[in-house]
Amino acid sequence: MSQSAKAKGKLSSFFDILVQSLKGHEVDLTSISIKRAIILLAIPMMLEMAMESVFALVDLYFVGHLENSSHAIQTVGLTESVLTIIYSLAIGLSMAATAVVARRIGEKNPEAASKAGMQTIVIAVAVNILISIAGLIYARDILLLMGASTETADHGTTFVRIMMGGSIIIVLLFLINGIFRGAGNAAIAMRSLWIANIANIILCPIFINGFGPVPAFGLTGAAIATTIGRGLGVSYQVYNLFSGKNALKIRISHFIPDFMQIKAIVKIAAPAIFQFVIASCSWVFLAELVATTGGDAGSAGYQTALRLMMFFMLPAWGLSNAAATLVGQNLGAGHVDRAEKSVFQTLKYILIFMAVVSVLFLTCGHLFAAFFTSDEKVITIASKALKILSIGFVIYGAAMVFSSAFNGAGDTWTPTKINVFAFWLFQIPLAYFLAKYLEMGPTGVFIAIPTAEAGIAIAAFILFKKGKWKKIKV
């Protein structure tokens, strides 16, 4: 066979897998080739996570062109920093759901997988009611606590109330997608985010700038549009849960609290939630440190850089999630060696992806930042942040894959312990020392981030090779 024919054959094969991944056909991921399994999962997962990052970018773009844009940008960024704590709850629960559902699917027990997924929803709703109430009451105090000026807090209080009040929608969007990912149907998770984002993109200019009978809500309009968009995404998820057209067959009885199973899920979810709360609180501290040392322009520049960084980091996280699903399902099927091979194959793909992203930010960071604001001070700080942060992107990718592998196996304590040391005992003290004592300001914070991530990647690799995760019972 000629080289040309082989190339055409490979291209045709990849196109077939691409179409299959987007359509969401269910296959036995424990029996097909590892490369094929990763691609089937990774493509919709990467698109899903890219869409999750688009929420903040769309909000940032439209509010960045309002009057007093620095206040609006700062409000969106600081609110997102606080919401990362809620994301931590959602991600922790979704990881527990992915681990348990994937293990049951690997064991060829879809009934148990369906029940486990619904029990995580029961937990999420119960916990999030309290968070929503606190957000509604203390919205202004939250912004002030984050280092916002009084004027910025006055501008952004209603925005925070809507976003925090609707946080149950955020949690359900993450959690139900985690259930679908565990079942191996990442395409439904992807489509729910597409629906949510398309709605947000359409509604943002309408509610922010006004259109026809809809008045111009300004910054508040961004929160209204985002909450409605996410709500539509959740509605699509719920429809698919109860449609009976996938491996999960949901019944109303699955929502009756089963305290033994809830205890087992919480045992996995609690360290996973703590794992991301640790990281989120670190980001919150860093955001406050930048705001106090760099002022409104420094904070807006950092938040712009962070949103741009997350636009590319979340797809990488989606790719790493393929490792979580494959580890869970293969352990359930008793294929331990295949689980490990899946992780290292995923690692190869993510290192290539993150290397490309690094080059983009090193060469085009200023252009990316200029797209979201015309404030030169903000653009300069954002561009500098992107250049420093991008140096560690390949390292971030490696850390994500190994952490996802631990979580997919149900070993949520290992990455949690790593995060405690790397973020609280190293990154925060280093950032404070550089920013305050060496008077480097925001630049010191930027330097501390990739430095800490390097430590996470090294520690995660060493512990992964030790193999404790292979013996975890879920």
Sequential DSSP letters for 145-187: HTT--HHHHHHHHHHHHHHHHTHHHHHHHHHHHHHHHHTT-HH
Which residues have a Cβ under 8 Å from the Cβ of 355 and sit 6 or more positions away? 393, 394
What is the rounded distance in angstroms from the CA atom of residue 91 to the CA atom of residue 97?
Answer: 10
Does residue 164 contact residue 135 with C-beta atoms inside 8 Å? yes
- How much is the pLDDT for 429? 92
CA distances (Å), 245 to each of 175, 240, 250, in order? 19, 7, 10
Mean pLDDT of 11-25: 64
Mean pLDDT in residue range 438-448: 88
Higher pLDDT, 177 or 4: 177
Q: What is the band of 119 on the pLDDT scale with cuts at 50, 70, 90?
A: very high
Average pLDDT over residues 62-70: 70
Phi, psi of 103 (to 5 degrees): -65, -45
Per-residue pLDDT of 224-237, as tens digits, reads 998 999 999 999 99
State the average pLDDT over residues 80-93: 78
SS3 216: coil
- 214 DSSP β-pair partners: 211
Task: Please report the pLDDT score of residue 10 as a whole number.
Answer: 56
Distance CA 401, CA 399 (A): 6
pLDDT at 68 over 80: no
pLDDT score, position 460: 94
Average pLDDT over residues 314-337: 87
Rounded to whole angstroms, the Cα distance separating 431 from 364 reads: 26
- Give the mean pLDDT of 54-74: 71
Q: Is residue 215's pLDDT more than 80?
A: yes
In the block, residue with structure tokens 């009976």: 244
Alpha-carbon radius of gyration of the chain:
22
Give the H/E segment covering residue 262.
Answer: helix 259-332
pLDDT band at residue 417 under the 50/70/90 scheme: very high
Average pLDDT over residues 75-82: 73
- Residue-level pLDDT at 21: 66
- What are the tokens at 27? 């296959």
Q: What's the mean pLDDT in 218-225?
A: 85
The token pair that represents 287 in the structure block: 């955001």
With beta carbons less than 8 A apart as the criterion, state whether 247 and 105 touch: yes
- pLDDT above 80 (res 23): no
| Position 155 confidence tier, pLDDT thresholds 50, 70, 90 | confident
Question: Tokens 């359900």 appear where?
Answer: 172
User: Which pLDDT score, from 0 to 100, does residue 24 have?
Assistant: 62
Predicted pLDDT at 7: 52
Cα distance between residue 163 and residue 463, in whole Å: 38
Q: Which two tokens stand for residue 70?
A: 């620095």
Which residues have CB under 8 Å from 37's CB, separation 6+? Answer: 29, 322, 326, 342
Q: Identify the residue with better confidence: 101 or 25.
A: 101
Distance CA 235, CA 124 (A): 16
Q: Which residue has the higher pLDDT, 409 or 375?
A: 409
346 falls in which pLDDT band (50, 70, 90)? Answer: very high
- Give 211's strand partners: 214
Residue 466: what pLDDT?
92
CB–CB of 392/357 below 8 Å? no
Band the pLDDT of 15: cuts 50, 70, 90.
low
Supply angle C-alpha 301, 311, 57, rounded to 5.
60
3 state DSSP class of 143: helix
Helices (H), 333-392: 336-372, 376-390
d(CA 441, CA 301): 13
Measured between alpha carbons, how far is 233 from 175 in angstroms, rounded to an integer? 12
Burial zone of 370 (CB within 10 Å; 0-12 exposed, 13-18 middle, 19+ buried): middle
pLDDT confidence of residue 110: 87
Confidence of residue 461 (pLDDT cuts 50, 70, 90): very high
What digits encode the pLDDT tens for the residues 156-191? 788 888 888 888 898 898 899 889 888 888 888 888
> What is the sign, positive or negative, of the torsion defined by CA atoms of 287, 289, 291, 293?
negative
The whole-angstrom separation of Cα 72 and Cα 92 is 30
Q: What pLDDT score was predicted for residue 431?
A: 92
Task: Please give the mean pLDDT across all residues of the chain.
Answer: 84
In the chain, count H helices and then E strands. 16, 0
Reduce the DSSP state of residue 214 to 3 states and report it.
Answer: strand
| Cβ-based neighbour number of residue 237 at 10 Å | 24
With 0.75 as the threshold, say if the pTM is over it. Answer: yes
pLDDT at 128 exceeding the cut of 80: yes
Contact 229, 200 (CB under 8 A): yes
Burial (CB count within 10 angstroms: exposed 0-12, middle 13-18, buried 19+), residue 247: middle
Q: Measured between alpha carbons, how far is residue 419 from residues 55, 390, 394, 414, 426 in Å?
A: 26, 20, 18, 9, 10
